[in-house]
Chain A
Amino acid sequence: MNTGGSVNIENPLGLLFLFILVPVVYAALRNYLGGKVFRSRLAGNPEGQEDEEFGGFFVRTFLSTFFFCLFLVFSILALADISWGTAPETEDRNGLDVVVVLDVSYSMLAQDSSPSRLEAACDIALGLIQGLGNSRFAVTAFKGGAVLAVPMTEDREILEAFFLNANPSVVNTPGTSVESGLETALGAFPAGTASHRAVVLLSDGESLSDFTGRAVEKASALGIPVFAVGLGGTQGSVIRLPDGKLLTDYEGRPVVTRQNVEALEAIAGISGGEYFSFREPGLISLLMRKLGDFEESRGKMGFRLVAVHRYRSFLLVGFLFLCASILIRSVKWKKK
């Protein structure tokens, strides 16, 4: 087990539970102030002056509440599922199944990749299909939604026919949702096959829908790397439609699109894949080599490295604090 590497929060939404501490601390404070008056009355002392016996109660109540809060904090950290380091997990597979996720949104018609981002993407896909002769491919096309355009197959004819004719009308839903493209891609690997699995994302990374990263995290958990190829420049380009007109927004201004490198790098990074720019020299060979290396390394080693989840350590500490909280209030403190 490798204990080095970066610390990741696998379930960041779990940290929202920290808000529970607000009513808990508020209740504890309110109770202390009210309880002080009550306790002094109970002891028959003047208002606000606590009996020595009740002073012990206060210390115990304070410590018990403090430990209970610490229990909550550590349990919530366990819920957030913090991970660091890697450990090997057996992976007995051979062969390679690749799902090509093709962005067919209108921004892919921008001509800052020659002849257009979409055609450049299709050329890359065709090169991969021809180059990786022993692999099976599936194709997912996405815009606002995603469709499984070609199921997992080794039939080169249909794959080539698809990429030679790909255009934005393949998908009807308007918008751009990389998330749904990746989600559909993960469902395109048929069950019961013993091949290594990878996703090749061909996109400019411009996502108009909310990107939550759930699909990428799912890919990472399944051991499916996403190799993201970014198309288009970062300077911005207008979108020329097939009829020659420029795509405009509702105010009539030309829509300018640019590659979102950060988004694509994040997708590749989280899933354990790699990001490539379409300008990379010998991109198709490089991609083929990376996919080949991925298949070979996993095949030779017979395992893959997975993140080590550390939730149990946090939960155990939290549990000890809870026990301490119970014991402090339950065991009577002897007076000297």
Chain B
Amino acid sequence: MLARLLPGLLILTVLALPGPALAQGTSPLDTGDTAFVLVCAALVMVMTLPGVALFYGGMVRRKNVLSIVMQSLFVLALVSVQWVLWGYTLAFGPDRAHVVGDLSWLGFRGVEQVANPDYSAEVPHLAFAVFQLMFAVITAALITGAVAERMRFPAFVAFTLLWTTLVYDPLAHWVWGVGGWLRELGALDFAGGTVVHISSGVAGLIAALVLGRRRGYGSEPMLPHNLPFTVLGAALLWFGWFGFNAGSALSAGGLAASAFVVTNTAAAAATLSWAGAEWVRHGKPTVLGAATGCVAGLVAITPAAGFVGPMSAVIIGLVAGVACYLAVSVVKARLGYDDSLDVFGVHGVGGTWGALATGLFASRAVNPAGADGLLFGNAGQLWTQFVGVAASWAFAGLLTFLILKGLGMVFRLRATEEEEEQGLDLTQHGEDAYPDMAVGIPLTPAPAPTPAGAARAAEREAGA
């Protein structure tokens, strides 16, 4: 009886609901593009956790691996909430004075299932917003490598919240927000060379300088404790980067395919050139070098991904591998700052090269909505790119410095000598990543068995 009634009931229920077309207003959504953007958002999420977490986690000493993994995990959670509450509206909300979005989309108010034609004509506004969320997440997570092994967790949480609000959100507005001044100037940044990589790289450099070197830096070896982790992290970054760059086309079409191909090409070229540079200078190509090289290539192609062709990507990647290698092996050693995991050397330098290279290699043949670069007869684009780079450097550098100095008055930023010696895993989180030999007793004893429970246990035993 019920079985015969059920289909009828279902049909009635469906009829009672408002039709999807009615709910979604006038602009029809493209289901293919929507699916693509949502999957790409998930791919970009994987870049942070576990991508960055493992990439960095393998490079620190075993006593600090949990602390660095926790930072990526925590950034994902913290920025996800920040973005819904106020981050998205500051970055992409209706323009205020070309520098920041206003507060009309506070708490995702007005960010709905229908498309917002300003950003994506055929994809739900919510899909665009969550895709952009993952960019805000990874940018903050990247900075953690520069201050690895010495920043206290409470200070890191406060810094991340302030930095994302005061640096990332406005900068994203400048470059990508409708009305943002760099966007209006014509600066090209397809997927975040300035917004993501220059900002995190420069912030990392400033943070490393403000916090100072790790104790023992330069006098004792601080070697990666698990390079297979690092390679796994790099692989997840490479994989996720297809979502990052191809997804930035916001449409599953030719431009996305082009961005996908140049992304892979540049990553590969930079892997070869970094490993090659090491091979020549040290006699052996290292695994850490190859893994870092691919990330350098991915960083460099990011701003250019939607504007350049495959041959340009080869050059961008080859140069990125060597330039970043020299930045971390020669320049950092000369200057003596302790950017623990080379956030500046890879993301700052690679992002700067990529943003400028976009001004060289961009071609309207690849993307009519872009511009031609110097090599395609438009020298002005290189200048525009330079302005974008300089503004990002100055803004991220200055604000990072002010945030840290301000926080330093309220928080202790650095772990004490003893905390650093013991490792942040134990001192900040009370855990040990590799407790091979833990001897002790649980401080919360297991509850004593109740009479009923004891009787049941006796029965079970008797039964067995």
Q: Do A and B bind each other?
A: no
Using a CB–CB cutoff of 8 Å, the interface residues on chain B facing chain A are none
